[in-house]
Structure 1
Amino acid sequence: MRPTLPIPNAFLLIARFGPLRWLWAVLCGLLLLSGWSAAATTPPGPEKPLTVSARQEEVLILPPNYSVLEDPGGRMTLTDVQLGVNAARFVAGSSISTNMQHPGAAYWLRLTVQAHGPQPQHWYLELYDSHLSDVVFFPDATDPASAVHTGADQSFLSRPYSYKNFLLRLPLRADQTQTYYLRLQANSKTSFLARLRTEQGLVERFQQEYGLLGGFYGILLIMVVYNLCLYFFTHEQTYLRYVLYVLSCSLVFLSEDGLGFQYLWPDHPWFNQLVIISSAPLLLLTFSYYARHFLDAPQRLPHYDPWVRNVVLLSAAALLLDALWWQSDLSFWLYLLPYGMLFVAALRVWRGGFRPARFFLLSHTLVVVSVGFLILRKLGIDTFTNTFTVYSMNAAFVLEVVILSYALGEKIKGIQDATLRAQQRLVKQLRKKHEVQEQLVEQLRQNDELKDQLNTELEGLVAQRTEELRQQGETIAAQNRELLQANGLLALQSAAIEKLNGDLQRDLQKAQAARVLAQEVDFGEFSQIYPDKDTCLSYLADLKWAQGYHCRKCGHDNFCEGREPHSRRCTRCRYVESATAYTLLQKCKFPIVKAFYAVFLLHTHKGNYPAQELSRVLDLRRATCWSFSQKVLEAMRRQAAEATEDDSWTDLLLDDTAADADEAGEEDVAAAPVLARKVETWAGKAKTSEKKVG
């Protein structure tokens, strides 16, 4: 694009219709040549000069007031852009986009400022976007050494003035027009919005802006501390999630307005870039983390909530990748989709009857409006660019945290009200129960009164009857001695009868016990008492070691469980003794339950039970039954001398002589006569008991 010189339309009309058209053609040619010579020394730009005067305190730099030259490689110097070819490539800001379309490329801005009259105050150029990675300002277009170099990629101390935005001083002279050059680079699509301010305007701006920001961060800090204290007192997770959300909001604003870089990490520009990249995804995650829990989305929207959670996670990851590598224009949609889904979730929950959701919708709407202003400002649209719109997002977030805090309080209050209503219902139930108890107590009191009344009447009747007896006693005084003697005899007879009744009762109990022990039951009923081998072994072990355990090898008293069921192992000599060892059932080859029943039958029938019948009942071979019955009979013969009427069939189980006889091969048959006499004694006592009972 070559520089051109505008020619007045009047010259063209005169040259076309006047008689001296050749003379005018020569004059126009001279004028054109002078224009080209002037362009060779100081090339005029397509931008309009920006006029400032002492009466102004600030001037907004509009797109027509500056021109832009894009340097994709970023290798051009001030001398290169002032050359005729490159100088002609400057394009007016009104004819191109108002933001940097290619992150990483260098953009040269040329600004022409015309001062009217004396300037008692210095003028400063303020760049609104504090995320410019590299800023080089040339206050003197003829001296590259006068450049001021700063940017977000450098330490905050590199800035000429300690201010959150980039502030550059313009050396203006009275009634002169000066051209300034700016070389800008950014890692994202930032705008060219800037403003000229005087010293007085800057002071007022500083006081107003920093005061508002201080109040803004103070409110956020108060909300964080307040809700953190509520969390520690109530242990409600929603307060902690709210605190995380407010902290992420603070981080976003600290990175957006530059106060974090100015006060918190001024010597760490890499950390500032990290905060800028990660604050937005972190805000999205914490907001969804809080909003879903506040709205009870997992319980109220069980099918919709997993979609929201997955979209939020994918959007946060995509935002991070877009900020690091892609550098695309999708970030707006990556924000819009999850926030829109959360807004829809809040709307559905509110329509479902959850009243605190209306505060969430209100605060969300305010934030959406402020974000709209931010997007317009990022796109370079200055239609609504003023102090209110610039800080509308701060105000919206302040209102949001306050409204959400109130909504959270209303939610907790709703929970408390529900709990209180439940407690009131419980109190009513307890009150009704107490009334019933009072009625019961009153009924008991009335019953006691009625009982006392009946006792009183009975005592009166007794007293009346006593008086009658006394009167009758006077009439039978002569027979009193006979009655006393009869009473004495009756008392003696009563004592004798009581003694006889006691003896009869004891005999009856013994007879009943004998009948129970002598009662014959079938194998099915017997199996209900001793159903399996483990039960029989357990009973036999308890019977065998009822007096305590003593090792048969070393006499030690301590034992532990053996490998076999209900066996015992000596802890000293390691000798293992089973439950059947040294008993009648030692070396028994058929089931122990049947052996128990065989002993019971033989004991009940006093040994007179045929082996053939025993074989049929137990379903065993006749030889086996005969052999075992002989073994039981031998045990009964050995115990016949000490046998009593109360002996049980279980006493035969502990007969260990049979085991010794099996080992030694000897038999003891000397007790047969004694057994016969004992059997006769048992039979006689049983008949006597049956007669007494009859």
Structure 2
Amino acid sequence: MNGKNIGSILFLVGHILIFGNSKIYAEEVIVERINIQNIDQSPIYLAQSMLVFEDPSNRLDFDTIRTPNFENQFIKVPSSKEAFNFSYSKSTYWLRIPLENTDLSAKEVTFVISYPRLKTLDLYFQSSKEMKKIQSGYSVPMSKRPYQSRFFVFPILFPEKTEATVYLKVESPNSINIPIQLWNRDLYDRHEINDHVIQALYFGIALAMVLFNLFLFFILKDSNYFLYVLVVISTAFTIASHNGISSEYFWPNSPWMDQYSVNFFISIVLVLFLIFMRKLLNTKQFTPRLDRVSLVFIILQIVLPICYILSFESFVKIIVLSHTLTSFWILLVGIVCSFKKERIAYFFLLAFSFLFLALIVSTMRALGLIPTNSFTIDGPQYGSAAEMILLAFALADRYNSILKEKEAAEAQVKSNLEKSNLDLEEKVKERTDKLNRNLNAMKRDLFVARKIQENSLIIDSKLITELNLEYRYLPVSEVGGDFFDVVLLKESKYRILIADATGHGVQAAMITMAIKGLYDNIKTFELPPSKVMEIFNEEFMDNFVSLNSLLTALIIDIDLREKKIQYASAGHPAAVLLQKEQMLLLSKTGRMIGLKKQIHYESSELYFEPKDRLFLFTDGVFEAFNAKEEEFGEESLYHLFQSTRNLNLAAVENHLLKTLQNFLNGQDRQDDLTILGIDF
């Protein structure tokens, strides 16, 4: 495919994302009533037999749409044999189909919608004998659904010698795909078992790849194997979110995760794949210009998911388009490296081609460009499995190359031992130069890590303005163990987190970045800070107790309208509220995070007035020791805050940093330093 064709495809996808819509245009038809007698051997695909009514207002209820006024507004719309595909739409869709059971006995039937990302999915079964309403969709907790499955399943007892009309109400902020089938209940139960076997095989392959390559990583100390493990794990989570396994087992009661998880995990996969590609193909050396562009895509796939979470409707199509562009870019880099005749690039290109095809199929189905059927639904899973296996072959080939290089090096060493001392000195010099280059590469990697961490701590400029916020973040090394977050909960109410992991440097930074991922999932919960802190502690103990790390944290909710502060502190240094006549300390309300499970945290609240000032900080601000082993101390910090009331926040924080520097008198800081100031 040449560049012109690729550009045309990208233009078409972008045009549909930005200007496309999912309005229904079709002519009215009459659908004959379907007899359910034939479902004992195989399921019936209902899509091409159903009539559809689109409700852009989202206000009509079941009693309204079944009135004679709306009878003729149900129309036949184009669909594949297996499913409807309305792409991204803000409308509510009503589907209707007439059925009949001519048998002399009642039948247990099951309606199955094999697409797990529909928020509202209600089924109405209306016959002369009864009227049933069954609610489902990912907004309904798994325990309250009529049939607990990764798909939406509606069991119905269809009375004998009965005619019935079935209605479906569908609404979702995600792409609206409706693959609908009618099954015999027993037949579907057997199919469900077979389906779980297939899923177990896929995730079993993924687990085997993870364990084997993790074992190689510990033996060879080659980061490529660890990056591959991360790629496989993130891909498996993406597939689990895509096909509903996560909804069934990991977060059965989290509509938020069902709505956001797939695109979020795809971004994680692409970020890890870009890092893996840069490392495996050594693009820094062979294609430095392309490597710089890859860094831009990495940043893009870090920033866009944050925007996507903050504003779903504004960024959902943008993030889907970015996935396509990033995939095209990885494919292009693989092609370029293949033309440079890098052996490893051939394996990489072949492996990513399968993942690329899977991602394109998923994206085009979500946008309504291709029909929804068993291939387009399960295609990403098959593609990712092929990609995992082929990448494993690539690493195996690389390992073989390393062995050959090692054997050649050993032969060269034997030859060098027979040479003169001068030759030996030259070889030592060459080795030293190589070590220096590797050291410089590690320094550059640390610099990139610092930039990534700094970018993760960037606060929306709008929030900074609204809160009159000023902050300083100074890690003691390239990366640090402090982090903070500011988010708008609702109009005039903000939530601030500041936390400090034990230790500092790369280890603490990795822990804080992982922990920040946990906090991002719960930070917008409209719960008191104490409850959020308790959830945070439970998540930390469930996921990171093996790290033997502890964390102090302070969560503060600020309501600018009610002039109220509500907070919970997990062993964190007390924040300082400066008022006209006094200074208040926001003392700890519970123990550090990571000590044990089921820690109870208290919430405290207080009120502020205009011109009050609030400071939040980590212990690195006052636990500074000079050459005489004297500590700067909390009292000195409090005195500095009070004596600088006449200065603006930026001047206060700059003065604090200068005072600490003078106190240390050339001595290095011992801990990371973070301070946030707010003027009310």
Please report the TM-score for the alignment, with normalisation by the length of structure 1.
0.52
Q: Which residue pairs with 1:413 in the alignment? A: 400
User: 1:144–1:197: structure 2 CA closer, same or farther, 3 Å change rule?
Assistant: closer
Secondary structure, in 3 states, of the residue corresponding to 2:265? helix
The answer on 1:82 being equivalent to 2:66 is yes
Decide which structure has greater helix share.
1
**Equivalence for 1:199:** 185
Instruction: Give the alignment of 1:113-124 within 5 angstroms.
Output: 113-117=99-103, 121-124=107-110
**What does residue 351 of structure 1 align with?**
339
Partner of 2:272: 286
Q: Is the 8 A contact 1:48 1:66 kept in 2?
A: no
Contact 1:192 1:380 in 2 (8 A): no
Q: Secondary structure at the match of 2:98?
A: strand
Is 1:49 matched up with 2:33?
yes
1:67 matches 2:61: no
User: Take 1:139 and 1:408, find their aligned partners in 2: how far apart are those partners?
Assistant: 55
Whether the 8 Å CA contact 2:122–2:135 is kept in 1: the answer is yes
Tell me if 1:429 matches 2:416. Answer: yes
What is the aligned partner in structure 1 of residue 431 from structure 2? none
**Residue 382 of structure 2 corresponds to which residue in structure 1?**
395
Matches of 2:39 and 2:122, distance apart in 1: 29
The one of 156, 159, 167 aligned to 2:153: 167
Equivalence for 2:119 = 133
Deviation at 1:394, TM superposition (A): 1.8
CA distance in 2, matches of 1:47, 1:130: 27
1:56 shift after superposition: 4.4
- How well do the aligned residues superpose, as a CA RMSD in angstroms? 3.1
SS in 2 for 1:339: helix
| Deviation per residue, 1:72-106 (Å, 9 max, x gap) | 23221111001122222212132899333553432
- The answer for the alignment partner of 1:218 in structure 2 is 204
Higher strand content, 1 or 2: 2
Q: Which has the larger radius of gyration?
A: 1
The offset of 1:114, in angstroms, is: 3.4
What letter is aligned with 1:406? F
Q: C-alpha displacement at 1:139, in angstroms?
A: 1.7
Residue of structure 2 in register with 1:496 after alignment: none
Residue 48 of structure 1 and its aligned partner are, at CA, apart by 4.2
Change (3 A) 1:378 1:306: same
CA contact (8 A) 1:63 1:93 kept: no
- Amino acid paired to 1:368: F
How big is the shift at 1:245? 1.0
Aligned to 1:94: 78
Alignment CA distance shift 1:58-1:377 (3 Å)? farther
Q: Return the letter of the residue paired with 1:412.
A: Y
Equivalent residue for 2:348, pick from 354, 360, 373: 360
Q: CA deviation at 1:316?
A: 5.1
* Partners of 2:138 and 2:297 in 1: CA distance: 32
Change (3 A) 1:158 1:143: farther
Q: 1:312 to 1:67 in 2, by over 3 A?
A: farther
Aligned to 1:370: 358
Counterpart secondary structure, 1:160: coil
The letter for the 2-side match of 1:91 is: I
Measure how far apart 1:424 and its partner are.
1.0
Q: CA deviation at 1:176?
A: 4.0
**Structure 1 residues 119 and 313, CA gap change in structure 2 (3 angstroms):** farther
Q: How far is the alpha carbon of 1:129 from its aligned partner?
A: 1.2
Q: Which residue of structure 1 aligns with residue 213 of structure 2?
A: 227
C-alpha separation between the residues in 2 aligned to 1:291 and 1:282? Answer: 14
Distance, in Å, in 2 between the alignment partners of 1:105 and 1:164 is 24
For 1:612-623, what aligned pairs fall within 5 Å after superposition? none
Instruction: For 1:127 and 1:185, locate their aligned partners in 2 and report how far apart those are by CA, in whole Å.
Output: 13
Q: Partner letter of residue 114 of structure 1?
A: E
Q: What code does the residue aligned with 2:116 have?
A: S
Amino acid of the structure 2 residue aligned with 1:136: D
Answer yes or no: is the 8 Å Cα contact 1:191–1:378 preserved in 2: yes
In the aligned structure 2, how far is the partner of 1:286 from the partner of 1:143? Answer: 57
Deviation at 1:118, TM superposition (A): 5.1
Which residue pairs with 1:586 in the alignment?
A: none
Shift of 1:68: 1.4
Structure 1 pair 260/328, CA: closer, same or farther in 2 (3 Å)? Answer: closer
CA distance in 2, matches of 1:193, 1:272: 18
- Give CA deviations for 1:413-438 in whole Å, capped at 9, x if unaligned: 3233223212211212324569x9xx
User: In the alignment, does 2:277 pair up with 1:262?
Assistant: no
One-letter code aligned to 2:99: V
Measured in 2, the distance between the counterparts of 1:383 and 1:275 equals 23
For 1:207 and 1:229, locate their aligned partners in 2 and report how far apart those are by CA, in whole Å.
32
Specify the SS of the correspondent of 1:193. Answer: strand
Change (3 A) 1:325 1:205: same
Query: Does residue 151 of the first structure (1) align with residue 147 of the second (2)?
Result: no
Is contact 1:164–1:262 with CA below 8 Å preserved after alignment? yes
- Give 3-state SS (helix, strand or coil) of 1:152's partner: coil
C-alpha distance in 2, partners of 1:282/1:118?
A: 55
Structure 1: gaps of 5 or more residues: 1-43, 437-694
Q: Is the 8 A contact 2:87 2:175 kept in 1?
A: yes
Tell whether the 8 Å contact from 1:139 to 1:171 is kept in structure 2 after alignment.
Answer: no
Does the residue aligned with 1:266 lie in a helix, a strand or coil? Answer: coil
Identity percentage over the alignment? 19
Q: Which deviations, in whole Å up to 9, do the C-alpha atoms of 1:125-172 show, x marking residues without a partner?
A: 100111111111112267997311122122111211111100012443
Q: How much does 1:289 deviate?
A: 1.6
Q: For this pair of structures, how many residues does the alignment match? A: 392
Contact 1:63–1:92 (CA<8 Å) still a contact in 2?
Answer: no
Contact 1:277 1:320 in 2 (8 A): no
Specify the code of the residue in structure 2 equivalent to 1:138: Y
Task: Tell me the TM-score normalized by structure 2.
Answer: 0.53
1:414-563 equivalences under 5 Å are 414-431=401-418
Corresponding residue for residue 640 of structure 1: none
The 2-side partners of 1:114 and 1:406 are apart by 54
- CA displacement, residues 372-401 of structure 1 (integer Å, 9 cap, x when unaligned): 543565456886833x55433222212211
The answer to whether the Cα contact below 8 Å between 2:112 and 2:151 also exists between their aligned partners in 1 is yes
Query: Structure 2 vs 1, CA of residues 119 and 289 (structure 1 numbering), >3 Å: closer, same or farther?
Result: farther
Q: Is the 2:239–2:380 contact (alpha carbons within 8 Å) kept by the matching residues of 1?
A: no
Matches of 1:138 and 1:252 in 2, distance apart?
32
Write out per-residue CA displacement over residues 250-297 of structure 1, whole angstroms, 9 at most, x where no aligned residue.
Answer: 111111111111112223333443423421211211121212211111
3-state SS of the aligned residue for 1:94? coil
Between stretches 157-166 and 282-291, larger displacement belongs to: 282-291
Distance in 2 (alpha carbons) for counterparts of 1:380 and 1:76: 25
**Comparing both chains, which one has the higher relative contact order based on Cα–Cα distances under 8 Å and sequence gaps of 6 or more?**
2
Q: 8 Å contact 2:87–2:366 — kept in the other structure?
A: no
